[in-house]
Structure 1
């Protein structure tokens, strides 16, 4: 145990985590030159294309230092705010963390957020100044920022470059010298923390775990404490680039277990594995069910694919513990699922993975957050509203509460005015403004989560020319004046386009949505009215004009009454058509609300 080191890499997006992980693997010769490629641990096409880490990845390295062989277990974590649950589970399985800061960009919001997670778990922090080979690098100033943040000494900060491999030997030396060996009792009953799981179509669920106490043997019967399910450990082993089966995984080590689990819900990230023969008294603390932040409906384009979509979402949930879903139906779209996501990027990634990995073409409805409604009959009993159609009748409604977040934005001083204007427009209240350096400001706002869900992050990047970084954490529910905005097409409400919006913004949003839909819905042989309504009150209207056939073309002169007769006949036909006409709403219309600000 004294030669085992478990550590993770934490950083903001694009500060060079994956590149540095590649250099560590190459330096310790954990992979051959033939196997080596950029972003080696990012094994999804999506991760490579976007240059982001979506999943945590674990890999074991062996390194000889001063004549002794050390086992180093590295867990590479995502950097985006949407995947912070993945990061928190990975941190719980480690004793040390490499805090990577870009020498050109300095400390960003997510760096601070992940650092606090690591400090809460009593991890040994090793600060690394990455990308020092860049011409725009400013190592002296950024080093001062790190010292202010961590309270460490200047000589504790390791200068490195993931691109050239400079400083990798010093990082490995620091891991061995500064990260403590795992603590645990090898004689105690088995307690192993699950920090990730993947689905193998041939072998079922593979759970990745760290043994906290005791040991796990191949073939023994184990129990998952959160679900109470029992299985035999058909195979256990360690995680190199390929899986290496072992007979026993001892205290402090990281490994995988294959036990023929076929259903996704039986394995939960953060659960504890124990032995059936000699069970542990209690599970490892820290497990919590993931709380989704954003909800959206996902429906198959063809209703016959409903079963296929169910199967696909179950498989995805295995690989992504933070996805939640439940069945729902819509009058406009048929049967589908109400899915919970950690944020808009997470929603985008899931949609894309469904299309790529499972060949599922889906329709996604307008994303919204989870509200609480209180009726005048029971003003103390909250009704959870995940879907605008669940909102009780306005006549019996006492109040609606919406989730608020504490948003932390770090930006250059010259963009403070723009950022404040954006946050106030999104109903934000400024709480604090701190100058980290003469040029960098940390702004703290209390804001409704619903305002952040759509285009906030993109607009923030635009107004700050990409320099602002954003992080948030929930701070509870607050009462707000919210109304349900319904969209009516041909005087029929389309439930998939309904949205809960603030009373002050309802008119603008309703007007923009009607204008957008007018452009997106194809013209028919009859007029199509599109209306935005709050209850029975119509607040916006647009009309898609009918396509017209020139019925008078065959009249070559003659009396005007002949033409009028033909036009009257056409008018009657149009009226009849309108009574029986059905309007096809294209998929692009359901996502139209997301980019209302583009016009």
Structure 2
């Protein structure tokens, strides 16, 4: 058997019956990118001298962290029993923040490789993506990776996977992405098990966008999967969700470099270039059709990406504000899910309120801004969106504690999430204790095997985005895996805690929290600021307050000059007179003085707050 097709068909002229579209579903660090590297090598689409680890992960951050952030599509030739086939592999992100992109990538495929680490077993995120793949009726090919590891236990985890998806344990393929063992057998299985794409060649063209990137020279490059009809260069196209119309300049496929072609036909996965300069014009999940003969119905499943978490980004040096705005504009060209608007803070100056898909998205965006644009930034504690109803019935959408309305509040509605935790059964008690302390409600529990259990909690999103994952990892010795998705909302007893310095509110330290946790937040912040703010010439009270009620207080003692140094003995009334004179001066100074809070104190208080939370 010659594994590689001798003369692979050109884009646009491929018979749909020889195309196999598949993706790899895996948790972070289960070896997805390494397996993709071996596939590229075995199909000879990358020359040995050009090969590098994590070939499809083009960003520095992706390589350093070992995660996939952007979807990639690659076309590979393969031959089975003398018949040439085309394999289109769509590499998907593995993190919960990018679940929408994963769902669109799954919709572009007919099959999915369920990749599980043979030393760790199935994880919560993999399970969530597996259920998503099953909803799309994909052919699931179960694979155990990293069988070369000393800690690998393929028999045990093959049984776990077999029970989960209803196959025989012997049907679970064993591969090693590192050594290449079993990869050829996996490619043969893809050809044999994954159905060929179905679509109407003569129908009006319909293509689904599953990702898009921004190229400085060519504008937006849109990744699509053709469902019906054909798209050819120089014809007019229309985006069905936005209604935008363009002329198609180029079509082609990635193998893994761009290969321009005469068009894209049914079942093919490739790219379109229209010269558009804004990624938001080419939305993930949208349907592309032709302008002259448009399709009547778009492909289902499209939705706008909704920010889940908001955080303020401020430059440490105020003069960097225009540079930050420019950097966010450029970053948004590559990331349509990023949303931002200007905001000002009394304490931190000018900055932006930025909406993110989740904490990893926040972390990556901030790191890219600092690294690629040389900015030094402070980010405020992440917040979710609350709907606050005031006494007169007005509903206020709050993304920042400073927007929390004053006066009497009727109710506060907070977003909820369904969290799925997979953990060894010995840690069930620790997970339940933590989840209940975070106001979670148990939704259900299933044993995947004798040793591992899946626990589901309905829990406030605000509790998840702060410190839930870190605490979960520490309480389960790192064995727990977490996946969550937004689900509904609930009315809760939430209050805004303000931090006051000498009676003035410092907006950067305000937080919206549950009434039961407000006191501990107030005590923590006041004691932290007492250590961070230098002593002044006068006494400074640091207070935490809910409305007008003070719930915690610390005092920064005044620096005192030794006014008694010139008194050698003598009458006590003389000393008392000098001390009284100093006391009067301090009182006068306190009335006109303002508290100097150094920038370092803000950075320390905010960063340690988000890290420890």
C-alpha distance in 2 between matches for 1:492 and 1:537:
14
| 1:92-491 matched pairs, under 5 angstroms | 92-378=107-393, 382-395=395-408, 397-491=409-503
The residue number in structure 2 matching 1:590 is 606
Q: For residue 548 of structure 1, report the CA deviation from its aligned partner.
A: 4.7
Provide the rounded CA distance (Å) in 2 between the counterparts of 1:547 and 1:60: 71
Q: Distance in 1 between matches of 2:55 and 2:520?
A: 47
How many Å apart are 1:26 and its aligned residue?
0.9
- Inter-partner Cα distance in structure 1 for 2:447 and 2:581: 74
SS at match of 2:17: coil
Cα distance in 2, alignment partners of residues 536 and 492 from structure 1:
12
TM-score by length of 1: 0.94
Higher deviation after alignment, 306-315 or 469-478 = 306-315
Query: Which whole-Å deviations, capped at 9, do the CAs of 1:523-582 have from their partners, x for residues lacking one?
Result: 4444332211100011111223344555666x4847678877776665555555542324
**Separation in 1, partners of 2:583, 2:37:** 71
Mapped contact 1:513–1:596 kept (Cα < 8 A): no
Q: Which residue number in structure 1 is paired with residue 521 of structure 2?
A: 509
The answer to whether the 8 Å contact 2:124/2:422 transfers is yes
Q: Which blocks of at least 5 consecutive residues in structure 2 are unaligned?
A: 1-15
Q: Is the 8 A contact 2:385 2:399 kept in 1?
A: yes
**What is the CA deviation profile of residues 268-300 of structure 1, one whole-angstrom value per residue up to 9, with x for unaligned ones?**
111122222222223221110112221111223
CA contact (8 A) 1:264 1:315 kept: no
Distance between the aligned counterparts of 1:58 and 1:547, measured in 2? 65
Kept in 2: contact 1:264–1:314 (CA 8 A): no
Once the two structures are superposed, residues 11-64 of structure 1 have per-residue CA deviations (whole angstroms, 9 ceiling, x without a partner) of: 122111111111111111111111111111111111111122222222221223
1:40-97 Cα deviation digits (max 9, x unpaired): 1111111111122222222221223322322211111122222212211211111111
Aligned length: 593
Q: Mark the CA change 1:574 to 1:219 in structure 2 (over 3 Å): closer, same or farther.
A: farther
* CA separation of 1:31 and 1:570: change in aligned 2, threshold 3 A: farther
Counterpart Cα distance in 1 of 2:233 and 2:557: 71
Give the structure 1 partner of residue 13 of structure 2: none
> Is the contact between residue 164 and residue 448 of structure 2 (CA under 8 Å) also seen in structure 1?
no
Give the deviation of 1:117 after TM superposition.
0.8
3-state SS, counterpart of residue 2 of structure 1: helix
Q: Is the 8 A contact 2:314 2:378 kept in 1?
A: yes
Query: Matched residues in 2 for 1:462 and 1:210: separation?
Result: 42
Deviates more, 1:237-246 or 1:318-327: 318-327
Aligned partners of 1:29 and 1:300: how far apart in 2? 47
Q: 1:226 to 1:307 in 2, by over 3 A?
A: farther
Further displaced range: 557-566 or 333-342: 557-566
Counterpart pick for 1:531 among 543, 563, 567: 543
Please report how far the alpha carbon of residue 345 of structure 1 lies from its aligned counterpart in structure 2 after TM superposition. Answer: 1.9
| Selected match of 2:48 from 33, 36, 58 | 33
1:153-177 deviation per Cα after TM superposition (whole angstroms, max 9, x unaligned): 2343111111111110111001111
> d(CA) in 1 for partners of 2:452 and 2:427?
10
Q: Please say if residues 512 and 596 of structure 1, whose CA atoms lie closer than 8 Å, have aligned partners that are also in contact.
A: no
Q: Using the alignment, how far apart are the partners of 2:589 and 2:190 within structure 1? A: 75
Change (3 A) 1:558 1:160: same
TM-score by length of 2: 0.92
Name which of 511, 514, 536 aligns with 1:499: 511
C-alpha displacement of 1:304: 3.6
2:58 to 3, 21, 43: 43
Give the whole-Å Cα distance in 1 for the aligned partners of 2:382 and 2:25. Answer: 29
- Let me know the Cα RMSD of the aligned residues: 2.2
**CA 266–311 in structure 1, closer or farther in 2 if over 3 Å, else same:** farther
